Amino acid sequence: MKVCIVSLNLATYFDPAPRAKYGGAEVQAAFVARALKDQGLDVSLVVANLPADVRIPYPTENAFQSNDGLPVLRFFHPRMTGIYDALARADADVYYQRNAGMITGLVARFARKYGRTFIYGAGSDTDFSFRSVLIDGWRDRTMFMYGLRRAHGVVVQNNAQLKAANGSLRAPVTAISNGVLPVERVSTNGDGPILWAGGLRPVKRPDRFIELARRFPEREFVMVGGSTTTEVAYATETEQKARAVPNLRLTGWLPNSDVIREISRASVVVNTSVVEGFPNVYLEAWNYGVPVVSFNDVDGLLANGGLGALCSDLDDMEKKLRALIDNPAAMHSAGERACDVVAERFSPSVLGPKYVRFLEEVLVADRERESDRMLPSEASTSPDYQPAED
Same domain, yes or no: 172 and 67: yes
Query: Is 384 a residue whose pLDDT tops 60?
Result: no
Residue 139's pLDDT band, with cuts at 50, 70 and 90, is: very high
Q: Is residue 11 in a domain?
A: yes
Q: What is the CA radius of gyration of the chain?
A: 22
Higher local confidence (pLDDT), 194 or 387: 194
**Distance from C-alpha of 263 to C-alpha of 169, rounded to nearest angstrom:** 37
DSSP state of 225: B
> Could you read off the pLDDT of 75-134 as tens digits, one per residue?
889 999 999 999 999 999 999 998 889 999 999 999 999 999 999 999 888 888 888 888
Longest CA–CA separation in the chain, Å: 76
Same domain, yes or no: 369 and 340: no
**Distance from C-alpha of 341 to C-alpha of 353, rounded to nearest angstrom:** 18
State the total domains in the chain: 2
pLDDT of 382:
45
Q: Give the relative orientation of helices 348-373 and 24-38 as an angle to the nearest 10 degrees.
A: 80
> Could you read off the pLDDT of 271-283 as tens digits, one per residue?
999 777 778 899 9
Q: Is residue 189 in a domain?
A: no
Query: Is 388 a residue whose pLDDT tops 60?
Result: no
Same domain, yes or no: 23 and 121: yes
Residue 204's pLDDT band, with cuts at 50, 70 and 90, is: very high
Q: Distance from first CA to last CA of the chain, Å, rounded?
A: 30
Q: Is residue 97 in a domain?
A: yes
> Could you read off the pLDDT of 282-296 as tens digits, one per residue?
999 999 999 999 998
Same domain, yes or no: 274 and 256: yes
Query: What is the phi/psi pair of residue 214, to 5°?
Result: -65, -30
Q: Which of 295, 297, 302 is nearest to 272 (CA)?
A: 295
Query: Is 20 a residue whose pLDDT tops 70?
Result: no
Q: Is residue 291 in a domain?
A: yes
Same domain, yes or no: 51 and 28: yes
**Distance from C-alpha of 190 to C-alpha of 290, rounded to nearest angstrom:** 9
Same domain, yes or no: 99 and 9: yes
Same domain, yes or no: 26 and 165: yes
Q: Give the relative orientation of helices 232-243 and 206-215 as an angle to the nearest 10 degrees.
A: 10
Q: Which amino acid does the sequence have at 144?
A: F
**Distance from C-alpha of 300 to C-alpha of 141, rounded to nearest angstrom:** 31
> Could you read off the pLDDT of 303-330 as tens digits, one per residue?
888 899 999 999 999 999 999 999 989 8
**Distance from C-alpha of 165 to C-alpha of 110, rounded to nearest angstrom:** 22
Mean pLDDT along residues 147-151: 95
**Distance from C-alpha of 244 to C-alpha of 127, rounded to nearest angstrom:** 36
Residue 390, SS3 per DSSP: coil
* Domain containing residue 162: CATH number: 3.40.50.2000
Q: Is residue 145 in a domain?
A: yes
Q: Give the relative orientation of helices 138-148 and 102-113 as an angle to the nearest 10 degrees.
A: 40
Same domain, yes or no: 130 and 272: no
Mean pLDDT along residues 196-219: 94
Q: Is residue 388 in a domain?
A: no
Mean pLDDT along residues 137-154: 94
Q: Give the relative orientation of helices 24-38 and 280-287 as an angle to the nearest 10 degrees.
A: 60
Mean pLDDT along residues 227-247: 89
Residue 242's domain comprises 194-345
Query: Is 18 a residue whose pLDDT tops 90?
Result: no
DSSP state of 75: G
- With a CB cutoff of 8 Å and minimum separation 6, the contacts of 148 are 100, 104, 108, 120, 127, 128, 154, 169
Q: Which amino acid does the sequence have at 377?
A: S
Q: Is residue 385 in a domain?
A: no
Mean pLDDT along residues 221-245: 89
Q: Which of 139, 142, 147 is nearest to 108 (CA)?
A: 147
Same domain, yes or no: 319 and 239: yes
Same domain, yes or no: 267 and 334: yes
DSSP string, 369-383: HHHHHS-HHHHHTPP
Same domain, yes or no: 128 and 71: yes
Three-state SS string over 295-321 comes to: CCCCCCCCCCCCCEEECCCHHHHHHHH
**The pTM is what?**
0.79
Q: Is residue 390 in a domain?
A: no
Same domain, yes or no: 339 and 363: no
Q: Give me the chain's average pLDDT, please.
A: 89
Query: Is 240 a residue whose pLDDT tops 80?
Result: yes
H helical segments located in the chain: 10-13, 24-38, 81-90, 102-113, 138-148, 159-168, 206-215, 232-243, 256-265, 280-287, 314-325, 328-345, 348-373, 376-380
